[in-house]
Amino acid sequence: MSHHDQKPARDHLHLHLRRSPVAPAGVAAATLLLALGCGGRNPVWDAPVGRAQPFALDDALAVVDPDANRVVLLTTDVTRRARVEAVPIQRGMRAATMAPDRSRLFVVSAGDAGEMPPDGSAEQGPALEVVTTSVAGRRTYPLSEPLDGIALDPRGEWAVLFASKSAGGLVSNPNELLLVDIGKPAGVAAGGAVANPVAHTLRSFGGKPQRFTFTDPLELPGGLRRLLIVETEQDVAIVDLLHPADPEITVQLTSGQDARRVHPAAVAVTDGDPGPNDARIAIRTDDRNVVIATLLPATDRDFSPSLNLTDVGAVPSDTAWVRTDAGALGLAALVPGAGKAVVIDPTTGLTVDVGLPAAYQRLSLVTAAATKASTVPAAGPGAAVPQPVDIALLWNANGGGVAFWELGRVAGQPYRSVETVGVTSAVTSVIDVGSAHPELKILQTRDTAFFVLDLKARTSAPFQTSSASLVIAPSAGGTRAWAYVPGSSQIASIDLQTLHATERRTERPLSSLFEIAASDAAPGARAPRSLIALTQTGTWAAAVYDAASAGDANDAAGDAHTDIAGLLLEGIDAF
Amino acid sequence: MRSSRRSPRNVLTATGGREPEVGRRAAKVLMAAAIATILGSPRTTAAAESTPAPGGDEPRPSTPAPPSTEPAPAPYFPPAGVTTLDTPAAARPINHRIIGIDASLGVRGTRLTSLGLDPFSRDDGFVQASLTLGYRAVHAPNLDLSLGVEWDYGLASSSARDSRTSLEVHELAVALCGRVPLSRRFAAFARLTPGAARLEAQVTDASALASGSSPTASLTQVHWLPSAAASAGLAFRVASVSRSQSAPVFDYWLTAEAGYHYSPSYALELRSEGRSAAGRDVQPLALGDLSLRGGFARLGMALTF
């Protein structure tokens, strides 16, 4: 349109405004009304809640709210009053996990990942964030790559970040790891290189990481070390955490002449006897062999694995380092396909087969809890204290029940025979009860029943349930166990001393149940604990009970609770 | 048929003295005629022809219309029972009765920047309907003062994280209004409305406890607050209608005003009570602080007589 075309239009408008007595007021009013519509709201109000995920820290319920870029911390006090705090996290949350001791929450975020940040916001890069109830404990570790997998050290010293299968980048290297020393703050070394985290790219022969195992400190030829063992699809890599940037040691499980690929299934680590040259890593594979790597001195580095391959006759389902008679170290392997267990001498590679009454698939050592006072050999005057013989608990997810396996040598038998317990159901998991009753284990089954197993008395108390989807969680002190069915309104409390079960009803169907410590306990005093029944419908609700009262059938205050609705709406105004 | 359509235009042409826009003028007169019919077939005159500016409730001498430059209009045939004061009657001295009632209906839009509004609205605008009824306590040639009651009602609704939300506001205030005539058609006015506001905030959400009486679970809070508004604006007289020379003159106005609304902020704490239950202590949902503070604009229609 030319200027000649536009001019008459402007004239017409001017004439119209001048002639109309209402027009100025109308234009002013319209302008004002248009101005009313200005100003948007915080976009978090429009964010969905479907991806929110709860974690039970020791002293808070932490809800990761990725669409709102925050973690909602719900803490309680001794009067059951709840406090909700929203902790901002970086945009683009990829993964979250809780420390094994429930002290911290780790959140991995990609940041803006190359996209434009929201209006008025600074650009954010990838980061690992540590969220705690204490402000002083919160840390942020900038990352060089937007990774989305995280594995944590059980001792709380290290975290390893990697690209998992769900990594959404155009190109990513799954063998590129970032090792974060979570005991230290993020640091930048001279020259701009990042000192913490440390980037470590695994030398790959075609595999990519599947599992990570952080070892306890091991007496190695070069001194006391911790190792990170990385299982890929076809080999095992050993990273020295004292020198995380140094090249790793790779244990290849498949020879170059064999087209068939052997995959690692699990590793078991032992420090051996006191001394530096007998730390060993047992690698269970998906074929009939077990590989034992003994870490011995080397010329070009502090240590190097010496490999020993042992055929156990069929595919092993579980392995564990055990102490047999006289404290001799052995590797116990369950071989359900052959209905036996095999004990391997790690020095000679000799094996001893032990027949089992059922095809047990899983094994865990319960020596301390299951040792009867009468079975511990007495030490004579001046004699060395005898090492206890390990006791293993065997169970099977496909049926066959539970058995105790004592690994001491007796006359006529290489190892003491297996003692079965009267549990015939398929055991899906074995749950430790806790400090108050270390001798008790809760056996979850596929049926509408669970068992409380007494390791010392070798008894198993059955409990009938109304649903096979029952969730059981021991209380923090181990005095009772909580049981519930997700979606129902019933909470059962089992007194683990008397084995008496009581029930309470919640006002809403509950999705999950958590026990946390109250945050304002007096110094030195044992913090009272709150029981939180979480309902993950709408914007989530929580009912906070006093854990001691709720679990006590004789306590009339057991029904007293604090009700919170709209949990995921809290704290948005403060953002 | 054709002549009756054109007659309103002719009447307004005589009062305005210039060629108006046909449609708008016709609409005004049609509206005036319709209102007059509803009120019992009063006499109708064109806007500002025989009455002074608002506030001038003194006897209204008619003033002759300025000479028209238009071609002679077609004759106007008023509806049965309705007569105009356009020409012969306008010359007569008239003495209308004054009752002193002001009534207005309007729409008020307030810009609220309080973060507490965010759960209930996607923008900062809050629209209310306003109804005012007042009595002119002071009549003077250049000033009217009236005292009345104003009721405002507004409802904002939105969603917050997939939950339906609403904020319902009732305000009841004393309306103090002063009006000054500016010309035959225009008057300026200022208003002060101290009062009280009742705010009901609600979040309908599945996490709330359902009560027996309500099929949907919600968290609610009802809160009373003092409130006040001050504003100033212009009024434009659209038409004046009277049934006779001694009857009251009904003046119809369009008003536009702007001002500021104030109320103290308060904490939004919504509760979900549900059925009564022993041992339950409800901890309210805290959504921040809300205040109904901000500039506003209001458009309305007013009737004075």
Q: Which are the contacts of A13, defined by CB distance < 8 A and separation ≥ 6?
A: none
Average pLDDT estimate for B262-276: 89
Task: Give the model's confidence band at B59: pLDDT under 50 very low, under 70 low, under 90 confident, else very high.
Answer: very low
Q: Is the bond leading into A197 cis (omega within 30 degrees of zero)?
A: yes
What one-letter code names the amino acid at B191? R
What are the angstrom distances between the C-alpha of A135 and each of A73, A131, A155, A521? 12, 8, 22, 18
Q: Which residues pair with B44 in a beta bridge?
A: B84, B241
pTM (global) more than 0.90 = no
Task: Sort out which chain A residues have CB atoms less than 8 A from B110's CB and list them.
Answer: 36
Q: With a threshold of 0.90, tell me whether the complex ipTM lies above it.
A: no
Q: How far is A561 from chain B (nearest CA, A)?
A: 5
Question: What's residue A116's pLDDT?
Answer: 86
Q: For an interface test with B, give the residue of A15, A20, A38, A41 to mutate (most B CBs within 10 A).
A: A41
Q: Which of the pair, B52 or A503, is modelled with greater confidence?
A: A503
A563: closest chain B residue by CA: B282
Quote the DSSP letter at residue A487. T
The residue whose two tokens read 């209102």 is B35
Kindly determine whether residue A507 and residue B209, on different chains, have CB atoms separated by under 8 Å: yes
Kindly determine whether residue B160 and residue A569, on different chains, have CB atoms separated by under 8 Å: yes
Question: What's residue A564's pLDDT?
Answer: 94
Q: Give the full edge-to-edge strand order of the sheet including A529-535.
A: A512-517, A529-535, A541-546, A561-564, B280-283
Task: Sort out which chain B residues have CB atoms less than 8 A from A539's CB and list them.
Answer: 160-163, 205-207
Q: Give the least confident one: A130-134, A142-146, B14-18, B274-278.
A: B14-18
Task: Give the model's confidence band at B231: pLDDT under 50 very low, under 70 low, under 90 confident, else very high.
Answer: very high
A25: closest chain B residue by CA: B256
Task: Give the model's confidence band at B5: pLDDT under 50 very low, under 70 low, under 90 confident, else very high.
Answer: very low
Q: Is A314 exposed, middle or buried (0-12, 13-18, 19+ CB in 10 A)?
A: middle
Kindly determine whether residue B122 and residue A41, on different chains, have CB atoms separated by under 8 Å: yes
* Residue B47 at interface with chain A, using a CB cutoff of 8 Å: no
Q: Is the pLDDT of residue B35 over 90?
A: no
Other CB atoms within 10 Å distance of the CB of residue A22: 15
Maximum mean pLDDT: which of A187-191, A296-300, B158-162, B239-243: B158-162
Average pLDDT estimate for B203-217: 82
Kindly determine whether residue A80 and residue B205, on different chains, have CB atoms separated by under 8 Å: no
Q: Is the pLDDT of residue B1 over 50?
A: no
Average pLDDT estimate for B107-114: 94
Question: What's residue A198's pLDDT?
Answer: 92
Task: Give the model's confidence band at B302: pLDDT under 50 very low, under 70 low, under 90 confident, else very high.
Answer: very high
Question: What's residue A550's pLDDT?
Answer: 83
* Residue B125 at interface with chain A, using a CB cutoff of 8 Å: yes
Question: What's residue A35's pLDDT?
Answer: 60
Give pLDDT < 50 ranges for chain A.
Answer: 1-20, 373-374, 411
Q: Taking each helix axis from N to C terminus, what angle separates B2-16 and B22-38, rounded to the nearest 10 degrees?
A: 100
In sequence order, which ranges of chain B are alpha helices (DSSP H)?
2-16, 22-38
Question: What's residue A294's pLDDT?
Answer: 94
Distance CA A252, CA B90 (A): 113
CB-nearest to B234 from A20, A25, A46 is A25
